[in-house]
Amino acid sequence: MSGYRPYQYIERRKSRQIHVGKVAVGGDAPISIQTMTNTLTSDAKATIEQIRRAELAGVDIVRVSCPDEESTAALAEIVHEVNVPIVADIHFHYKRAIEAAKAGAACLRINPGNIGSAERVREVVNAAKDHNCSIRIGVNAGSLEKHLLEKYGEPNPDALVESALEHAKILQDHDFHEFKISVKASDVFLAVAAYQQLAEACDHPLHIGITEAGSRRAGTVKSSIGLGNLLWAGVGDTMRVSLSAEPEEEVLVGWDILKSLGLRHRGVKIISCPSCARQGFNVIQTVQTLEDRLAHIKTPLTLSIIGCVVNGPGEALMTDLGVTGGGSGRHMVYSAGKQDHTVPSGSMIDHVVDLVEQRVALIEAEAAKEKAEGVEPALPDLETVK
Ligand code: SF4
């Protein structure tokens, strides 16, 4: 394999580092992936189950809405039963914020300018300080403050950034600095321009997202354009892909965006061809089945599934394992770019799953041995590539 590693040219913006529970956000921390539950938070059991599904998909941080007292009452149980830090989403009601902080939320999503009197702001900030909570200032083009709409006439990047910095100043005036900021919009141009402007204007960590992006397919495309653009420019410390789809879908799309940019790696990355009349096996079905059967793998590994020799050997050179469709229902299996053996169509999927699992077991055993011996890993930890 060549030493060409294009993602190393993504230079991340230098931001302050804060913590959302055990997850570092900003600085040189890996870009974390978030999602949000859509169950009733007061239904702790359903919410916990949904968070666990997101955990399996690889989520780092989960946000839950806390619109009422029943929700903050359920929060303690939820926080206790899951492995990821929980962000409590609060709108306006300062008492919910204080209850959430006491219940163990790792972060409060609340805009200090919307809390009300100075005394209420102080109470919320003190609760956050006392309970080790960070805060996310979440500015949204759809709910900009009236005075900014009057000043700018519309939600534009200047208005979003001014709103964010006004909220930030309130926290700074209370000597509170553990916060990150988002300036979301459903319009991809507006969101990207606002984030770019904010990234220039401050060094706070940024939570990036294209809000209300849409359905699973359209929202994925829109988010990939918006978030991809920002991440490629080095902007973004934590992210959420907002889809009208289940939270675990958002997490998987988030991972695919980061993997595509080489910013983080997790699980099996399948390189596959679109297939055509030359395919030696049904590429589309094979890839779909393999994606499901290999979803449990966390160790980064690349696998090429290519329908014929036109592109198969070339892709196999750049992947850990590869299969290239051949004639008469037999296909070539590659290991580290070299032809290894053939496999018939009927047993190909089981065989590839076995090979991947065996390779992952080897990688993990080697890593554990090297760790025990205190050996520096030969490859950089890809999760920390900036
Ligand atoms: S690799 Fe072969 S099967 Fe796949 S699209 Fe190209 S020519 Fe068709």
Q: For position 375, what pLDDT does the model report? A: 74
Q: Is 273 in the pocket of ligand 1 (CB under 6 A)?
A: yes
Q: Are residues 291 and 243 in the same domain?
A: no
Residue 275: HSE in the Cβ half-sphere, 13 Å Cα cutoff: 11
- Is 133 annotated as contributing to ligand binding? no
pLDDT tens figures, 192-224? 999 999 999 999 999 999 988 789 999 999 999
pLDDT at 132 over 90: yes
The answer as to whether 100 is a domain residue is yes
Substitution site in 311, 317, 324, 332 for ligand 1 pocket (most atoms within 8 Å of beta carbon)? 311
Beta bridge partners of 182: 138
Q: Is residue 9 in some structural domain?
A: no
Q: What is the pLDDT of residue 382?
A: 40
According to the annotation, is 202 in a ligand binding site? no
Same domain, 143 and 193: yes
Q: How many domains does the chain have?
A: 2
Q: Please list, residue by residue across 15-28, b when 16 or more beta carbons sit within 10 angstroms of its beta carbon and e when fewer do.
A: bbebbbbebbbbee
Cα 345 to ligand 1 centroid, rounded to whole Å: 17
Q: Kindly state the tokens that stand for 315.
A: 């892709």
Mean pLDDT of the 26-44 span: 97
What CATH number does the domain containing 204 carry?
Answer: 3.20.20.20
Query: Above 60 in pLDDT, residue 386?
Result: no
Least reliable range by pLDDT among 80-84, 90-94, 136-140, 149-153 = 90-94
Which of 270, 272, 279, 334 is the best mutation target for the ligand 1 pocket, counting ligand atoms within 8 Å of the beta carbon and taking the most? 279
Residue 143 counted as domain residue = yes
Clarify whether residues 332 and 221 are in a common domain: no
Task: Give the pLDDT confidence score for residue 8 in this predicted structure.
Answer: 63
- Residue 5 within any structural domain of the chain: no
Last residue of a domain, one of 202, 232, 260: 260
Annotation-wise, does 107 bind a ligand? no
Instruction: Kindly state whether residues 104 and 197 are assigned to the same domain.
Output: yes
Q: What CA–CA distance (Å, rounded) separates 166 from 115? A: 13
With cut-offs at 50, 70 and 90, classify the pLDDT of residue 100. Answer: very high
Ligand 1 within 6 A of 307 CB? Answer: yes
Give the CATH number for residue 285: 3.30.413.10
Question: 333 and 218, same structural domain?
Answer: no
Between CA 153 and CA 165 the distance in angstroms is 19
The pLDDT score that the predictor gives to residue 379 is 44
223 and 300 share one domain: no
Atom of ligand 1 nearest to the CA of 325: 3
Segment 13-37 mean pLDDT: 97
- Both 275 and 223 in one domain: the answer is no
Which CA distances in Å does 253 have to 23, 63, 240?
Answer: 20, 17, 9
Whether residues 341 and 308 share a domain: the answer is yes
Look at residue 145 and tell me if it is in a domain: yes
Task: Provide the pLDDT for residue 356.
Answer: 97
- Banded model confidence at residue 94, pLDDT cuts 50, 70, 90: very high
Ligand 1 midpoint to CA 280 (Å): 9
> Which atom belonging to ligand 1 lies closest to the Cα atom of 312?
1
Domain interval for residue 119: 17-260
Does the residue 381 lie in any domain? no
Of 228, 260, 292, the one marking the end of a domain is 260
Q: Is residue 6 part of a domain?
A: no
Cα torsion 359, 308, 261, 228: sign: negative
Asked whether 275 lines ligand 1 (CB < 6 A), one says yes
pLDDT (tens digit, 9 = 90+) per residue, 56-91?
Answer: 999 999 999 999 999 999 999 999 999 999 999 998
Q: Do 195 and 112 belong together in one domain? A: yes
Handedness of CA 52, 63, 67, 98 (dihedral sign): positive
For residue 324, tell me if it sits in a domain.
yes
Domain boundary among 209, 225, 260: 260
Q: Per-residue pLDDT tens for 321-369?
A: 999 999 999 999 999 999 999 999 999 999 999 999 999 999 999 999 9
337 shares its domain with 368:
yes
380 band by pLDDT with thresholds 50, 70 and 90:
very low
Same-domain status, 169 and 66: yes
Ligand 1 lined by 323 (C-beta under 6 Å) = no
Q: Are residues 220 and 97 in the same domain?
A: yes
